[in-house]
A and B are shown apart, each in its own frame.
Chain A
Amino acid sequence: MNLASSNSISAQPGRTIRFRIKRCDGPGKPSYWQAFSVSPEAGANVLSCLQQIAANPVTADGQRTTPVVWDAGCLEEVCGACTMVINGKARQSCSCLVDQYAPNDGDEITLEPMSKFPVVRDLWVDRSRMFHNLKRVKAWVPIDGTYNLGAGPRESHEQQERRYALSTCMTCGCCLEACPQFLPEANANKWDTSFVGAQVLGQAHLFNLHQTGEQLASDRLDVLMGQGGVSDCGNSQNCVKVCPKHIPLTESIAALGRAVAVHSVKRWFTSK
């Protein structure tokens, strides 16, 4: 019965807020800003406001325009699709509550596409590089096939918990957006020599931790030893601070750093 500890937010009902949105009609086209006035419904989030704008695309100064384009899927912060830069910080827009970001009449929210990936249109970016990088490090367990061969390896609680934490990575890209070492690269031919980024380091670590996945550890370390590998990380720890799934990315980076050091010594002996 402790009313004081209720943390419910008191946003002004019936208010009008502004969305300032950085738009772009397509690759190679210039970016421009547009503002929209929205009266958020109860419980609105950024995506539900974008839906309102799409249904009736008129700017704050009354100009008809095209609907803003964005990417979305689950609407419950588990697919990673809807990531964008909101008030200067990358996060999922589906879980971004407008009552918290703009509680008062006239408050403004700024939306921009992520800057590390090519824009497709407006807030929608092309993150194929993240999926490509998963191939680079063979982020899979090399099973013999899909026919019945019994259960997988037994595993302790602790090991399951470590792997589970890494395995909730939803390929959203927040960690890459925040990373000073991960730079935009539109040319897909250069992806294989550019920094893989924290997302992929977490995944390489995940598969190295699995008893069968470990068979490819040497291949993974070869890649992470090379150009764009783990040594490109400047250890600024931005990634771990922004990951919405609280994945212990810096632990993965440290573990891989050590593994790569051992691996390169081994390679040095065996390649001569």
Chain B
Amino acid sequence: MAQQRVIVVGGGLAGLAATIRLAESGIGVDLFSMVPVKRSHSVCAQGGINACNEVARQQGYSEYEHFDETIYGGDFLADQPPVLEMANFAPKIIDLLDRMGVPFNRTNEGFRDLRLFGGSLFKRTHFAGATTGQQLIYALDEQARRWEAEGRVAKYEFWEFLWPVIEDGRCVGIVAQDMRTMQIRAFRADAVVMATGGCGLVYGKSTNSVICTGAAAARCFQAGVWYGNPEMIQVHPTAIPGADKLRLMSESARGEGGRVWVPRKKGESRRPKDIPEAERYYFLEERYPKYGNIVPRDIATREIFQICVSEGMGVDGENQVYLDLSHKDPEYLTRKLGGILEIYEKFVGVDPRFEPMKIFPAVHYSMGGLWTRYERGSYQPASPLPGHKSGSRAPIGAEIGQGMQPGSPINMQTNIDGLYAFGEVNFAYHGANRLGANALLSCIFDGLFCGKSVENYVRDVVASKGQADQVPQGAYDRVVAQEEAKQKRLMDTVGRGEVAPEINPYQIHKELGTEMTAACTVVKSGPRLEQALKRVEELKERFARARLSDSAAWTNQSFSYARAVGDMLTIAEAIVKGSAVRKESRGAHYRTDFPERDDAHFMKTTVAKFDPASAQVSVELVGVDASLVQPRKRDYTGKSAGGSVEKKAAASPAAV
């Protein structure tokens, strides 16, 4: 019997955590990534990572409360047992990262420092300077390098995943392409872990890195993997519009007295400082006299969006509003907000202490992703408990195995045997809305906790069904041939004449981004979604005729990009269709024609499936496992405890 091997696609936090866990268990890992893993998108995370901790515990917090907050924040759309397991496991992850040498901020006594983050009354967010994601991924990267030095891990960096090889309903490898030599080849594996991150680029510009196209997930989807809750896309209220990217602006700018406004006159050409007070429209202050600029995040997002997109009042006719701190004392601002104001100055070249910033909401995170399964753990109350009262005693302890069965081979496995989805590409934990600083946690949790599941699948299930090295070669050759044909079709278009904008992949992507941002982010409606679907169809038709401008057989970046544009169109279709099916408002999904949450009909996962014959996406509704805690209204308006939380969140630094 040959040594068993697992392929991990993606070297962000999720992929690296899985790699380390598997290597440690004696399984060989082939790690694929489009960029050197150390440069994965996870480096962007600034804010922190959540876990119950000793200080919070003594104030009444518990893993159970972390679980409850996550379910509540996600508006009761997530299956509950996996979330319970994640919250219970979280403190162990922090300890492990600490042992790996992550330079977490420290208290005077040398303990790990904590900060307050949105969605909780307790300090439960651990952080390392302003670059927590970077620090965490470096720690995992170092451990993976250690295994690489020992020969247990082989890295395939600058390799692009193209397609899973599925034989008899079981994933037995992948086909990938070397981005330099352009060689396409198949790799055998006893199991494959997809850890390829989110899909922000479907919206053109977002807060995501350039590789976050969602193409890898789209390819699995087209190969038969289901996709859960595609419509659940999180938008961050304040980002810095840029020519290439929308960079995060911390919400603390509003908390420190930032005022949001647009000129009253459409088409205003004066500089902001020349516009008198009376001709400025402080729309949040006028519309929400009580909260003013510190209205909760989703309201701020929606209002800014309305002002620009629906009312056409954006600054300079663009999608942007002023976030103004210039009325405050510059020295005070430097003291309170120095770091984040520097980011603005670095990328915009303007000092926000003297001139209003221009900001706009930006697509930030994808709660939806490849659909996965799990085996329930030991905690199975006779009936779901009422909502947890903050600070009160937890009904259960935090032992491992209460939420999910540890090591069960189906944990976070997609509907295809042997094909797993970890990290942001996994739909499992965040329901309809992700709480700040819970994403990094879910990535590492998947890798560590469910890495064991992959190990057991490989050792037990594969052993009984036969290893990948016994699968007939034809299964692999077929997929290679399919991908070569796809490449040939696109490459043959080079030199066929003018690349008119209509058939230019860059233009198609740009238009897709504009349409998706307008129709499918903050404010959705039935008729608008129908229109969006038509637009996506039209773009697909244009993509089928797309022309490329580089025929190089070496490092052909624009070809790889064009291929991904095709995949983004598929994800876009799933997002639009999921949004249309969900005739309610929940979490990040808001429909003007159905403004209320409707548990009776829609406390359900939208499961998108792809039919290869018709190349069409269909969407089904599947019930949610809400057996642990009863759904209740998600209300941050200030009457409940949650309200003050949201207010604090707006005021706390780097709420991401």
**Which residues of A does B touch, CB under 8 Å?**
2-3, 5-9, 25-26, 40-45, 47-48, 51, 54-57, 64, 66-67, 69-81, 94-95, 97, 99-100, 120-121, 124, 127-128, 131, 134-135, 138-143, 145-146, 148-152, 154-157, 160, 163-164, 167-168, 170-171, 207, 210, 212-213
- The closest CB in chain A to the CB of B146 belongs to A140
Is B103's beta carbon under 8 Å from chain A?
yes
Q: In the bound complex, what is the Cα–Cα distance between A124 and B346 (angstroms)?
A: 24
The answer on a CB contact under 8 Å between A45 and B24 is no
Which among B103, B129, B348, B549 has the highest number of chain A CB atoms within 10 Å?
B103
Set of chain B residues within 8 Å of A81, measured between Cβ atoms:
35-36, 39
- Binary interface profile of B, 190-210, with partner A (CB < 8 Å = 1, else 0)? 000000000000000000011
Chain B, residue nearest A72 (CB): B210
Check B99 against A76 for contact (C-beta < 8 Å): no
B44, A78: Cβ atoms closer than 8 Å: yes
Instruction: Name the one of A44, A67, A148, A212 contacting B549, with C-beta atoms under 8 angstroms.
Output: A67
Most-contacted residue by chain A among B36, B40, B143, B350 (CB, 10 A): B36
B101 contacts which chain A residues (CB < 8 A)? 140-141, 152, 163, 207, 210, 212-213
Instruction: Contacts A45-B243, A57-B549, A73-B41 given; indicate if A148 touches B145 (C-beta within 8 A).
Output: no
In the bound assembly, the distance between CA atoms of A120 and B145 in angstroms comes to 23
Chain A residue with Cβ nearest B95:
A151
**Which of B58-66, B134-142, B566-574, B629-637 is the interface stretch?**
B134-142
With CB as the reference atom, state the residue of chain A lying closest to B149.
Answer: A135
A145 touches B349 (CB 8 A): no
Pairwise interchain contact A6-B38, C-beta atoms closer than 8 A: no
Pairwise interchain contact B145-A79, C-beta atoms closer than 8 A: no
A121, B112: Cα distance in complex, Å: 45
> Quick one: given A55-B506, A73-B209, are A99 and B347 in contact (CB under 8 Å)?
no
Known contacts being A9-B349, A78-B131, A170-B134, is A43 close to B108, with CB within 8 Å?
no
A128 to B39, CA, bound (A): 13
Q: Tell yes or no: B98 within 8 A of A by CB.
A: yes
B478 → chain A closest CB, angstroms: 31
A167 to B131, CA, bound (A): 10
| B158 to A: closest C-beta gap in Å | 8
Set A45, A67, A95, A170: member contacting B550, Cβ < 8 A: A67
Task: Tell me which residues across on chain B come within 8 A of A212, comparing CB atoms.
Answer: 99, 101
| A67 CA to B558 CA, complexed, in Å | 7
Q: Are B103 and A160 in contact (CB under 8 A)?
A: yes
Docked-complex contact B355 and A94, CB < 8 angstroms: no
Q: Determine the distance from Cα of A145 to Cα of B20 in the docked complex, in whole angstroms.
A: 9
- The chain A residue with its CB closest to the CB of B99 is A152
- The number of inter-chain residue pairs (CB within 8 angstroms) is 217
A97 to B350, CA, bound (A): 11
Contact call A80/B110, Cβ cutoff below 8 A: no
Instruction: Please give, as numbers and ranges, the residues of chain B lying within 8 Å of A143 by CB-CB distance.
Output: 96, 99-100, 143
Contact partner, A75, options B96, B103, B210, Cβ 8 Å? B210
Contacting pair A134 B44 (CB below 8 A): no
User: Chain B residues near A70 (CB, 8 Å)?
Assistant: 557
Shortest distance in angstroms between A155's beta carbon and chain B's nearest beta carbon?
A: 5
- Residues from chain B with a CB closer than 8 A to the CB of A150 are 95
Chain B contacts with A in 133-184, Cβ cutoff 8 A: 134-135, 138-139, 142-143, 145-146, 148-149, 157, 180
A28 to chain B, nearest CB (A): 11
Chain B 347-387 near chain A by CB (<8 Å), digits 1 or 0: 11111001100000000000000000000000000000000
The answer to whether A97 touches B506, judged by C-beta atoms less than 8 angstroms apart, is no
In the assembled complex, the Cα of A128 lies from the Cα of B37 at a distance in Å of 12
A76 touches B351 (CB 8 A): no
Residue among A48, A66, A80 with the highest chain B CB neighbour number at 10 A: A66
B334, CB-defined interface residue at 8 Å: no
A200 CB to nearest B CB, Å? 12
What does the 1/0 interface line of B71-115 toward A look like (CB < 8 Å)? 000000000000000000000101110111101111011111000
The answer to whether B44 and A76 have CB atoms under 8 Å apart is yes
Which partner residue on chain B sits nearest A49 by CB separation? B243
By a CB distance below 8 angstroms, the chain B residues around A156 are 106, 110
A135 to B143, CA, bound (A): 11
The answer to whether A54 touches B21 (Cβ under 8 A) is no
What chain A residues lie within 8 Å of B48 (beta carbons)? none
A146–B21 touching, CB < 8 Å? yes
Are A7's CB and B351's CB within 8 A? yes
CB proximity to A under 8 Å, residues B21-72: 21, 24, 35-36, 38-41, 43-44
Please name the residue on chain B nearest to A148 by beta carbon.
B92
CB distance from A133 to the nearest CB of B (A): 11
The verdict on B242 contacting chain A, using a C-beta distance below 8 Å, is yes
Say how far A7's CB is from chain B's closest CB, in angstroms.
Answer: 5
CB < 8 Å neighbour of A80 from B39, B98, B142, B349: B39
Inside 8 A of B351's CB, which chain A residues have their CB?
6-8
Q: A42-B243, A56-B499, A135-B149 are in contact. List 10 more A-B contacts (CB 8 A).
A: A5-B354, A7-B350, A43-B347, A74-B44, A121-B557, A152-B95, A163-B101, A167-B135, A171-B39, A212-B101
Min CB distance A264 to B, Å, is 24
B129 touches A168 (CB 8 A): yes
In the assembled complex, the Cα of A81 lies from the Cα of B105 at a distance in Å of 26
A170 CA to B504 CA in the complex, in Å? Answer: 34
**Are A43 and B243 in touch, CB under 8 angstroms?**
yes
> Can you list 22 pairs linking A and B with CB atoms under 8 Å apart?
A45-B242, A51-B244, A75-B244, A76-B343, A80-B39, A81-B36, A97-B347, A97-B348, A97-B349, A131-B38, A135-B145, A138-B149, A140-B142, A141-B100, A143-B96, A150-B95, A151-B94, A151-B112, A152-B98, A164-B129, A171-B38, A213-B101
- Please tell me if the beta carbons of A120 and B95 are within 8 angstroms of each other in the complex: no
